[in-house]
Amino acid sequence: MRILLIGPPGAGKGTQAARLAVHLSIPHISTGDLFREHTGQGTELGRHAHTHIRTGLLVPDWVTVGVLEERLARPDTERGFLLDGFPRNLAQAQALDGMTAGPEPRLDAVLVLEIPEAEVVSRIAGRRLCGRDREHVFHVDHSPPAVAGTCDVCGGELYRRDDDREATVRRRLEVYRSETAPVVGHYQAQGLVTTISALGRVQEVLDRALVAIGRGQVDDSCASSC
Ligand code: AMP
């Protein structure tokens, strides 16, 4: 399956993408993670990307499209992929159309995570990530680790992303509204989009996502009472 996950910062794209990818046995490809890997390794590309990331702006398309192209060329994508954080503007969506052209359907589904902006700011302000495995995510109020500053899963040190400061989050939201939201229209025109709420527990959102891509069952246990 080839799936795109789109949503504003703080909607839980990374968390959901990691779980969905395991469920579907396809690689989870996050352009944000690819950039952070480069930055961590101190490559020139990483340093260049970081100047944009820390101010909440998009990394230029010529860098981003190149990084994604290289990743999609690896053999593990033959079974499909789950893209998290790409495309983030129309030019990237058109580049992806080109990269996925062929006899297969280009994409199977585009999931859009929806969340009120006030919730985004509060979620991100308290978000802490594990330095050892960035897929372990905590929140200082809503899901604090047992020992402050330490990952419950692997003992790694928790840190705050430097683009998670409030002013940067507001800039990232503006960029989402002006550049990424039009991408949804691009895929709506192809009949691929399902919008789901990103509110609720991680498992609830995952269940909605699985239903949206035809891999889960609707929970109608409270159909008459809720
Ligand atoms: P994320 O981890 O998806 O929240 O991405 C973190 C940051 O990486 C974004 O705020 C952008 O600065 C940059 N980034 C990630 N994906 C892209 C993309 N597709 N195009 C441009 N910049 C990106």
Q: What is the pLDDT of residues 170-213, one digit of tens each?
A: 999 999 999 999 999 999 999 999 999 999 999 999 999 999 99
Residue 81 is predicted with a pLDDT of 97
Instruction: Indicate if ligand 1 lies below 6 Å from the C-beta of 9.
Output: yes
Q: Which CATH code for domain 2-26+79-123+167-222?
A: 3.40.50.300
165 catalytic residue (yes or no): no
175 three-class SS: helix
Q: Is the pLDDT of residue 61 over 50?
A: yes
- Distance (Å, whole) CA 133 – CA 158: 10
Nearest atom of ligand 1 to the alpha carbon of 84: 3
Q: Are residues 11 and 64 in contact, defined by beta-carbon separation less than 8 angstroms? A: no
47 catalytic residue (yes or no): no
- Distance (Å, whole) CA 54 – CA 200: 29
208 catalytic residue (yes or no): no
128 catalytic residue (yes or no): no
**Alpha-carbon Rg of the chain, whole angstroms?**
17
Instruction: Indicate if ligand 1 lies below 6 Å from the C-beta of 139.
Output: no
Q: Is the pLDDT of residue 104 over 90?
A: no
Nearest atom of ligand 1 to the alpha carbon of 86: 19
Instruction: Indicate if ligand 1 lies below 6 Å from the C-beta of 54.
Output: no
Q: Is the pLDDT of residue 89 over 60?
A: yes
Residue 151 is predicted with a pLDDT of 95
Residue 225 is predicted with a pLDDT of 39
Q: Is the pLDDT of residue 221 over 70?
A: no
* Per-residue pLDDT band at 226 (split at 50, 70, 90): very low
Q: Whose CA is nearest to atom 5 of ligand 1?
A: 32
Q: At 144, list the tokens.
A: 């604090």
Residue 93 Cα to ligand 1 midpoint, Å, equals: 14
Mean pLDDT of the chain: 91
Instruction: Indicate if ligand 1 lies below 6 Å from the C-beta of 8.
Output: no
* Per-residue pLDDT band at 102 (split at 50, 70, 90): confident
Instruction: Indicate if ligand 1 lies below 6 Å from the C-beta of 86.
Output: yes
